[in-house]
Structure 1
Amino acid sequence: MYSRSACLFLAVVGLFCLSSAADQFVCNISYDDKMMEKMIATQVKVEHMVKAFSKAEDRVTTMLDNFKQMLDQQNEKHDALKREIADLKDNAIVPTVAFLAYNLNDASAEEGDRLRFTVKHFDVGSGYEPLTGMYTTPVSGVYQFTVQLYIANGQWCFFHIRSKDKIIMKTVFYDDAGSHYGTQTAVGTAVLDANTKVWIETEKSSSGNDFFFPHQHRAWNSFSGVLINTIN
């Protein structure tokens, strides 16, 4: 049997152990509470960070959308400017349209005759027809026409350059050089639509044969024209 002193010692040791265990239990509970508080605080911070990141992402997305919209608008303006420059370039380039024909088919001239020049010296645009003496404009624009006639001695002729709807130019040629023949030139300018026919037509003249001197090796009786500028 244990002595009274031994029993008392064991009781004190037991109480001490119980106290230590209780303190340890309380410490563990306090530690768990602090860890829980830290975890909750960390979760709150993480939620705040997630919300902040979400807002930042929304702002970045909005900025990117706005930038894309601005870029699309700039591309549209750039494309429109390119088209405008191309149109200006096309309008600035005047197509080469010109012709010259010579060699009258008839040396005499009666009122209302159409003068036909049977030889094409050149015809850029393929508008002149030697069989009819008519020139057809390939495009709308401002045209200049020239007629040169080798007038026989003492002869005269009123004539005009004309189309179906308008007189382009009226004039008269008269040889007053005595025994010498001479060429005379007239120029007319007109604004014409595409596919307009133009020709030279006599109005009134002196009578007789060989009104126009026919020797083409000395001088040409000729009809020519050139496109000065196009009209849109």
Structure 2
Amino acid sequence: MIRTEILVEQVVSDIKQLKQQTNDAVETVEKMKTELREGFQNMHSENALKLEEYKNTIQEWKDRQELKPDVLFLAKDPTTQRPSYNTPIIFGTTMYDMSQSYDNTTGIFTSPLNGTYAFTAQICLNHGNGIFIHYTIVANDQHVTYSHLNDKSHRFCNTAQAFVVLKRGQTAYVASRFSSSSPLSANTDSEWCTFSGILIH
């Protein structure tokens, strides 16, 4: 009888021990599952952040590599031989304008892109004694170059150039500072008054 009781106690003890080991194993598995779940979540979050960074980097690279549209124009034929003081000289005939940025009704070029631009103005004098003109290229409301022509007997042309940095929406034009009566030559087969510009970079 005593042996039976001892045996029963041993079996009960073994069962309790086995149950505890089972519970410990279950807890260990659950802990491992939780750690794996959290690890996967962290990896997913980190990978999502890295993927977003890669996408942004690729987009920045594409933006830098993307070909910019051609910005290039040339206009001629001043609409008046006597431009008003400090106002745009209007070159009324657009020979070409790749970005549709020059307005031949106002004489004003409006930058379609941020960048460095080169502008050139060629002004030709009318014939007559005492004819003269002071003119300037204006970019972003700042005078960036000045030029002066005068001649007592012969017509001739003068060219001024300016390199400027413009933001999108800023403007450039040629303006008369002061002049004699009707200083600008009408365009002929041998000489043109022109205004041109190009996006360099």
TM-score (norm 1): 0.66
Matches within 5 A, 1:149-228: 149-151=123-125, 156-163=132-139, 165-173=141-149, 183-205=157-179, 211-212=184-185, 214-215=187-188, 217-228=189-200
SS in 2 for 1:122: strand
1:106 aligns with 2:80: yes
Q: What is the aligned length? A: 198
> In structure 1, which of residues 54, 76, 91 is the aligned counterpart of residue 49 of structure 2?
76
Identity of aligned residues (%): 23
Residue 109 (structure 2) aligns with? 135
Q: Which blocks of at least 5 consecutive residues in structure 2 are unaligned?
A: none
Alpha-carbon deviation of 1:122? 2.0
Q: Distance in 2 between matches of 1:113 and 1:48?
A: 95
> Which position in structure 2 is the counterpart of 1:20?
none
The residue aligned with 1:119 is 93
Q: Which has the higher helix share?
A: 1
Which runs of 5 or more residues in structure 1 are unaligned?
1-25
Moved more, 142-151 or 32-41: 32-41
SS at match of 1:220: coil
How far apart are 1:102 and its partner, in Å?
1.6
Provide closer, same or farther for how the CA distance between residues 219 and 31 of structure 1 changes in structure 2, counting only shifts above 3 A.
Answer: farther
Q: Deviations over 1:3-36 (max 9, x none)?
A: xxxxxxxxxxxxxxxxxxxxxxx6xx85686366
* 1:65 paired residue number: 38
The structure-2 alpha-carbon separation of the partners of 1:164 and 1:53, relative to structure 1 and needing over 3 Å to count, comes to closer
**TM-score calculated relative to the size of structure 2:** 0.74
Asked if structure 2 preserves the Cα contact closer than 8 Å seen for 1:99 and 1:121, the reply is yes
TM-superposed deviation, 1:188: 0.8
Compared CA separation, residues 219 and 39, structure 1 to 2 (3 A): farther
- Deviation, structure 1 residue 119: 1.3
C-alpha distance 74-43 of structure 1, shift in aligned 2 (>3 A): same
Change in Cα spacing, 1:45 to 1:213, as seen in structure 2 (3 Å) is same
Equivalents in 2 of 1:113, 1:65: separation in Å?
69
Matched residue type, 2:53: A
- Aligned CA RMSD, in angstroms, stands at 3.5
Question: In 2, are the aligned partners of 1:152 and 1:175 still within 8 Å (CA)?
Answer: no
Aligned to 2:18: 45
The structure having more radius of gyration, on CA atoms, is 1
The letter for the 1-side match of 2:135 is F
Q: How far 1:169 moved relative to its partner?
A: 1.5
> Given the superposition, is the C-alpha separation of residues 208 and 116 from structure 1 closer, same or farther in structure 2, using an over 3 Å criterion?
closer
1:70-129 Cα offsets, whole Å, 9 max, x none, are 331231132034224423532554443332212222345675464221111222332211
Q: Report if aligned partners of 1:108, 1:212 keep a CA contact under 8 Å in 2.
A: no
